[in-house]
Chain A
């Protein structure tokens, strides 16, 4: 076998492999590696955080601006404490922003939606969002509906 042809075909395979990896990075994963641009921690206390877990999205106006890091119980208030990381470039959330737990679609994943407030003071690292709205729990809703139905 011709030595040149051998080297050429091996080189072509290498190039194809690297090109495939680049295509996987850009086309398939959408170049989503560039998201470690720094972030700051924020937490919020919810009455009920059912279905929310680490890596859930934090969005504002439907745009992802961070992710949930941990969900735990706050020992003082016995409420669910949701700790989040907000991307560093989103540094204009006011201190009276509100957070609610939303569902994508009827059966979809839970995520946190932030609605901006009106204050001039900004939300900084370690601040707590006070104004929260809990997860919608379908079973409780149906339960209340049945009780209301029974009262009539």
Chain B
């Protein structure tokens, strides 16, 4: 009985140490990848990755932003008109989007659309020993492969979040003003009174930056450290989406508490 308890505790310790080693490896990978003097040619690779990670995610971001904004407008109108204050729908749509939904939903979509692709790409490079052959040529794959993808993620997501917020607000405008007949002046006027640029918009952007860091880091590490088999790549891709989503939601709560709560 006692030996069973002891072995349980030992297993727990082993799992914890294993995770700790993984986190250390992930941190070292990140530091080695980004702590480097950029060369002229790395700029072209960054552009290439910005296209893959950012521009190709635009469609899904635009479409979901439009529909989320329209749903918010519709739901807000139904709820608020019960209290006779449907003019406040603009304020509700804008604050919900700018503070919460735009960073979180865009980050979740980004993790699914771009993060998983990064993991699969790097995992396949590892499985087909492209990373190893780069090293044979004396080229550090961390600088060549990981760094441009990391920076592309960091740059893309805040841009996508800004676009998401604006498109969502216009989607809400489409439903609330054009369809349901809220006065356009009170839609924008209430919104402008309620939304503060520093407090709401910039804090939303800060969230986007944190999420971009988390997603890129998780996706790149999972790809870089995966088992070089087809099952290994598939498991790593799944882990990227699951870990990123959990990290986004967890950090979102912490960031919201720091930014908007606790002002007592």
Contact = CB atoms under 8 A, between A and B. Distances in A.
A20 interface: yes
Q: Per DSSP, are chain A's interface residues mostly helix, strand or loop, or mixed?
A: helix
B98 A28 contact: yes
Contact of A32 (B55, B156, B167, B197): B197
B158 A17 contact: yes
Interface string A7-21: 101101110111011
Contacts of B51: 6, 9-10
B197 A23 contact: no
B176 to A, nearest CB: 14
Nearest to A27: B188
A24 B205 CA distance: 11
Contacts of A23: 166
Given A17-B158, A24-B165, A54-B263, A31 B54 contact: no
Given A17-B159, A17-B162, A20-B163, A6 B201 contact: no
A9 to B, nearest CB: 5
A147 interface: no
B48 interface: yes
A24 B162 CA distance: 8
Interface residues of B, number: 31
Given A20-B165, A28-B191, 20 more contacts: A6-B47, A7-B47, A10-B55, A13-B55, A13-B156, A13-B159, A14-B159, A16-B163, A17-B160, A17-B162, A21-B201, A21-B205, A24-B98, A24-B165, A25-B201, A27-B188, A28-B94, A30-B193, A31-B197, A33-B196
A127 to B, nearest CB: 27
A29 B166 contact: no
Contacts of A18: 159, 162
Interface string B85-128: 00000000010001000000000000000000000000000000
A29 B192 contact: yes
Q: Per DSSP, are chain B's interface residues mostly helix, strand or loop, or mixed?
A: helix
9 contacts: A6-B51, A13-B58, A17-B163, A18-B162, A24-B98, A24-B162, A29-B195, A29-B197, A32-B195
B236 interface: no
A10 B54 contact: yes
Interface string B178-205: 0000000000100111011110110001
Nearest to B155: A14
Contacts of B58: 13
B169 interface: yes
A66 to B, nearest CB: 15
Interface in A95-113: none
Contacts of B197: 24-25, 29, 31-33
B70 interface: no
Interface string B250-264: 000000000000010
Q: Which of B48, B158, B159, B193 has the most CB of A within 10 A?
A: B159
B50 interface: yes
Given A17-B158, A24-B201, A9 B55 contact: yes
A32 B196 CA distance: 6
A28 B159 contact: no
Q: Which of B48, B55, B169 has the most CB of A within 10 A?
A: B55
A16 B161 CA distance: 11
A8 to B, nearest CB: 10
Contacts of B54: 10, 13
A10 B163 CA distance: 14
